[in-house]
Structure 1
């Protein structure tokens, strides 16, 4: 039976601005998928000056976007929409998240889910007693705990943190945007990502040191907030901020692209980044650091090269020919376009909502 349209309210870090965060691209892909499936979405975003100054999607055409200035405004101005929604989903890193969640749980009991785009970071914070955007006491009250991280972390959420339903909801790619631009390769290896202290040692091992050893090859690092103290080799080009509209062409101009994962996500495993799926969708071969679960998503040696040190990167850049690169890229692209698009992820979300909530089940015509 065809599912009836659902009314879903999201409260997330940002949809309007991709500046300095990976949440916006994740929400955009997912919400476009929901729109394509016929569901109605209201996205509520806290109005913050650093996003206001860098809004690259102020008026999305696939959902309704509204900004709010305080928790009180959220709970009063949008109370009717929240109370009437088939599902309410709050994301990680929402400003004053604990207070926001308490308000949502009071307005829409039994229909509030949590979408953790930072699961390993969240759980590490909770173990330290840091409840900046989520309190441990709130986890059992969520109808579903959607997690960017799969694998053993899901069982940990249910046993250690008493989550009622822990489900993996990985990031996804906007397949219609991430296509090869047709540009000729300019760089032998590139990396796209905001500076992070825990990722920097891996970037040093897997890009900066290979650049030093291979001065005849060209490298690029795109992303903001890198400190001026980094000693970049002369053959490493720097791009400060690259808006999403330019990502596909950026990947298209690389012979290989590098995927680097945060330390907490490596420790947890099963935490693919959106950059991984974006690059695969474009059709550029990927070199990645190693973590549990990666080979289940993209088989090692068939769809991705996994580098456990500098030598592996140097060898790949020196020895891999065009046919090898094309084979890797084509396999990864096929896997990602089949199962890791926004449309696929939206289908997973709606199925989970229907399964775990009687109200959604009835609303979707599945009762």
Structure 2
């Protein structure tokens, strides 16, 4: 049984801290004392077909699409549609490969097709492309790439699909290696070995934190084409500059957060401010264009019934709100969440 819901916290703007050459450290952030405010509210309560919601994208009709990876209760992987006012409908089950599909990151292409990271298990992960019929239901499914162990975040940018892989289990490196892949939107049936040798792997890094051996998770592009990626284990946000061929020509640390954060999904607003889902401690962070880091919300363990942040996996800037999916499943060392249970929810914070 989860604890009773408790009022959340928000750090006022005056308590914001700046990282990387501007004086503050990750330890400084950890010492910030939040004031007793509650910024998050309930955006939608989800049906039983979505016990573990994950990632968002905005559909061509302006609604939100939500992936339901559904590790909890072994439900089949599902896509949901959420209206601007929180009404929920089912788009459909994601077509399975050799194993049931486990949809995580999603990204729409300009033609209305949807690219989905299917985290189906060791060496069974896929990047797939879905199309839809006139009723908005899934019509076709094609495999872009396959053979991965942990495909996670997905972004579409200028005719290419970018995919993060949390770990490359066959890479012969001292620490856990993770990376970012780049595929043409027209690529199909590419076999990807998780050893770091694929020509589609444009970036990789090693996670130093021995207590959290997970790597690159969330990613997002800014208007200038810079790619931001977050290492979940080391709580580092990298800013990558790519040339016209997708080659990383510059890699710099954009922000360093405490290892206790576990940054998962990353999103960006029209002004270039980043927003991070702090998966481990029920936190939401903002990083402005001056690299100033603000802790927007921090919740204790809760059941999310009133819209509290409950193990946030992803977030998206949507119609003046920051909409947040509550994964509410993982528990263990360093994780505030103590268990999984109803209600299954999506929260929002007014921006």
TM-score (norm 2): 0.28
Quick check: which one's helix share is greater?
A: 1
Quick check: which one's strand share is greater?
A: 2
TM-score (norm 1): 0.27
Larger Rg: 1
